[in-house]
Structure formats: structure tokens, C-alpha cells
Amino acid sequence: MKSLSARLLLLTVIFVMLAEVLIFAPSVARFRETYLADRLQAAHLAVLVLEVAPDGMVSEEMTSELLNFVGAYSVAAKRGDSKLSLMQKMPPLIDATLVPAQESPWTMIDQALLALVQDKEQVVRVIGPSPRNSAVEIEIVFSDAALRAEIRAFAVRIFFLSLAISVSTAFMVFLVLRRQLVRPLKRITRNMIRFRSHPEDQSLVMRPSKRLDEIGVAERELASMQTTIRDALTQRKHLAALGTAVAKINHDLRGILSSALVVSDRLETSDDPEVRRIAPGILDAIDRAVALCTRTLNYVGHDTPDLVLSDVKIAGVVAEAGFGLPNGAVLVNDVEETLSVHGDRAQLFRIINNLLRNAAEAGATQIAVSARSVADLVEITLQDDGPGLPPRALENIFLPFEGSGKAGGTGLGLSIARELARSHGGDLFLRKTGSTGTVFILTLPERARNEDS
């Protein structure tokens, strides 16, 4: 029963059978009511023979045949003051008297079910108006053995009929649901399994059907998700290849830049004043090229060492990272001397230096750094008075090569800083930015994660 189709078929059969059970009890009660009405009608027909017989009397043989026709010990009919009866011999003692016209629906169901399960034979008397003429009251006395046998036979027929209806209904429902639900789900499942094995294969992306129901929505969403995943994997593959290529040419590139620096140094000693004037610009351009290559290689990860964790005083790292900021920016170090974090001092310096230099290069004249202990983390706030980040930078602020806020920037500074913060178990996020300045929040663990708080 692991198959969804098999479960669906079984559950449909069970539910239809339960519905048939609810119909069964009223059906049996209705059968009993009809049976008793037929007996009353047969009794009335038998009594009519007495009305046409001379002196209202018939022979014993005729009486026996009429009573056998009714299936009763005795029959009596009363109309006004006249009363006719058929009786061959004294009937046995009566165990119960039934008046169908006075029974409620619940009583009829109860009596029918009782007759179905009862084994002891009883002699009953039934009193009620004749179905042929309501002015005539009929009374019959008979054994309920035949009634119980008829009810049981009816119950067996109902059971097999219900079973046939349940199986046929379940089969039809099964076919419809299998076509509309199970088969599409199997198709989706098979597609997911194949796509998981070869996510780069574009031919394995789900091809949605034209259905407008939930299955159609699931197919379209799966196709969209698979396309996104495939594109992301392709982009990562290309970036990995690019990183490998950059790492391979690192040595040659550094050699070329070193040669350029030597030539530039000689340009500074040239007798030509124009050459001496442009030499510093060339040196700055080469320095920027070296820095760009270094940051790119560090981001790729080939030069990133493992973290050497220890307790590090934040105030000292901030002071070192803020020394010699570009554009004459001033650092205001408000971090308490005793506050420390658990991390790699060199990488923490790298994070804070990136943030401070970014702020200074963006136009900030003053950068205030403060810190406080929050739960198991140290929350470091870096607030500057710069012009704020441009809207285009906010959309991809932490994405490499896309989140730079200045012309010619790579956007690697913030990306690397966040990665390093997260590698420590902390995080870096932008709290606010605007014309009055920008605020970054850096969180770092106050102590080793495996230590008790």
C-alpha cells in the first residue's frame, strides 16, 4: 500500500461503503414496512372471500389455503360493527403486538435491525388499516421467522449491491484521479529526480502543461525554480573557472606590474618636467591595479588563510584600522578598552579597515565607532557623516562586482567584510543611509561558541 494509487482506490471503497451503511438502516426499515403492508393487504384479500361466501363461512380446506396465502395463524377484519375472521385453530401465545401506523422512523429502524440480528422465533400480532381500504382494520397473527428470513436475504442483497457500487465507483474515481492527479504528480517527481542528477542539462527543465489548476501552478513554479537553479549553477561554474584562471595568471600579472613600477620609478628622476609631473599619476594607477588584483584574488579564496581564533580587544583593532584614512577622514574610537571578541585579529582588522576606508573614500570626514555587548555577541556600530549610499548601490550592496558605491569600484570590500563576519559566526548589515550619513552594524561572537555562557 505504498502506492498513492492503491491508497486512493482503497479509501474510495471504504468511504463509499460507509455511505452505504448510512443508507442501509433506512432501507431495511422500509423493507420491513413494505413487508407488513403486503401481509395486511393479503389478509384483506383473504377476508373478502368470506364476504362473498354463503353465510360468511368457508370450508376448512379453503380456510387453510387462505391462511397459508397470508402466512398467518389467524386473520380478522373489522369494518364498523361487522367483523370477519379466519382461524383454523387456536393460535399460539402472542409475544409482541405491532402497530406500524404508530411507529416513528427511529422505532421502525430499531425494530428492523432487531429482527435482523434476533435468532428467537416470536409470534406477533400486527394491527393496521388495510392498504386497499383504510376504513377496514386488519389484524393478523403470524410467526416472524419468515419476516426475519426476508430481512436477512434483503440485507445480503444490499451488501453485495453496495460492494459492487463501491468497487465500480472507486474504480471510476480512481481512473479520473489517476489521470488528473496521480500521473501528473509522478511526472513531476520523475522530472525532479532526473533534474537532481543533471541540473545543468537544460532539456531536463520541467515543461509545464496548460492546466490552470494547482497541478499546473506547481509545474510552472517547478520549471521557474529549475531554471533559476540551472542559471545559478552555470554562473557559479563560470565564476569558479574565472577564479582559477585569475589564480593561474597571478604570478605573471604581478611580474608585469613590478616591471611597470620600476619603469615608473625611473620616470620620477627624468629631466623632463612634464614626465616628472605625470609619473605620480602612473604610480597611483599601477598601485590601484595591484590592489584590485589582490582584492580579486582574495575574494576568489586562494589567498585566504584559516582563522586563528583568540580573544581580541576591539578598541585596539579599531585604532589600527583607522590609521591613515584617505581624504583626511577622522576616526572617533568610542569602544571600551576592556571589550573583546573571539576571532582572528588579522581578519577583524581587514573587516573594520574595509568599512572605514569605504566610508572615507565615499566622502565622510568623521567616522565614529562604538560597541556594546548584546547577549553572546558584540555589536559594533560604525557611523559616518558622509553623503550616503546611492540607490543603485543599495540594491546589490553586498554582491561582489555589483555593489560598489563609487565609480571604478569592484564592490568587493563589503562583500568580503560580510563573508569574514559570517565566517566568525557574526554578520554585517546596513542599518540606515542618507544625506546625514551611513550606519553599518557589525556583530561578532563575544566568546568561543563551545564555551558555556
Domain ranges of the chain: 4-166, 198-248, 250-300, 310-445
3-state helix, strand, coil in the chain (%, to 5): 60, 15, 25
Task: Encode 361-377: b = buried (16+ Cβ within 10 Å), e = exposed.
Answer: bbebeebbbbbeeeeeb
> In the prediction, which pLDDT does 303 show?
47
Cα dihedral: 238, 244, 245, 251 (round 10): 160
Determine which helix (DSSP H) or strand (DSSP E) holds 165, and give its type and residue range: helix 145-177
What are phi and psi for residue 180, nearest 5 degrees?
A: -90, -25
The pTM score is: 0.43
CA dihedral for 342, 304, 380, 396, sign (positive or negative): negative
> In the prediction, which pLDDT does 263 show?
64
Distances (CA, A) of 247 to 240, 242, 250, 293: 11, 9, 5, 10
Determine which helix (DSSP H) or strand (DSSP E) holds 105, and give its type and residue range: helix 105-117
- Identity of the amino acid at 411: G
> In the prediction, which pLDDT does 452 show?
42
**Which conformational region is residue 327 in: left (phi greater than 0), alpha (psi within -120 to 50 degrees), or beta?**
left
Fold of 310-445: Heat Shock Protein 90 (3.30.565)
Per-residue pLDDT of the chain (453 residues; tens, 9 = 90+): 566 667 777 777 777 777 777 778 888 888 888 988 888 888 888 888 877 777 667 777 888 888 888 888 888 888 877 788 888 777 788 888 888 888 888 888 888 888 888 888 888 899 989 888 888 888 999 888 888 888 889 888 888 887 787 778 777 877 877 777 777 888 888 888 887 777 766 677 778 878 787 778 888 887 888 788 777 777 777 777 666 666 666 656 666 666 666 666 666 666 777 766 776 667 666 666 666 666 665 655 544 556 788 899 999 999 998 888 888 899 999 999 999 999 999 889 989 998 998 889 888 999 999 999 988 899 999 999 988 888 777 777 777 655 455 544 455 678 888 888 888 888 999 999 988 899 999 999 988 755 444
**Which one-letter DSSP state was computed for residue 341?**
E
Expressed in angstroms, the distance from the first to the final Cα of the chain is 51
Evaluate whether 98 touches 139 at the Cβ level (below 8 Å). no
Nearest to 191 by CA among 204, 178, 208: 204
| Calpha distance 137→32 (Å, rounded) | 19
Distances (CA, A) of 397 to 357, 413, 431: 16, 10, 12
Q: Which residue has the cell 572615507?
A: 360
Q: Which residue has the cell 389478509?
A: 43
Nearest to 389 by CA among 354, 359, 429, 350: 359
Task: Encode 135-171: b = buried (16+ Cβ within 10 Å), e = exposed.
Answer: ebbbbbbbbbeebbebbeebbeebeeebeeebeeebe
What the block records as the C-alpha cell of 99 is 402497530
Evaluate whether 335 touches 327 at the Cβ level (below 8 Å). no
Distances (CA, A) of 379 to 63, 89, 428: 110, 109, 10
CA 24 to chain centre: 39
What the block records as the C-alpha cell of 295 is 582584492
> In the prediction, which pLDDT does 378 show?
93
Evaluate whether 28 touches 151 at the Cβ level (below 8 Å). yes
**Which one-letter DSSP state was computed for residue 405?**
S
Nearest to 290 by CA among 270, 264, 266, 267: 264
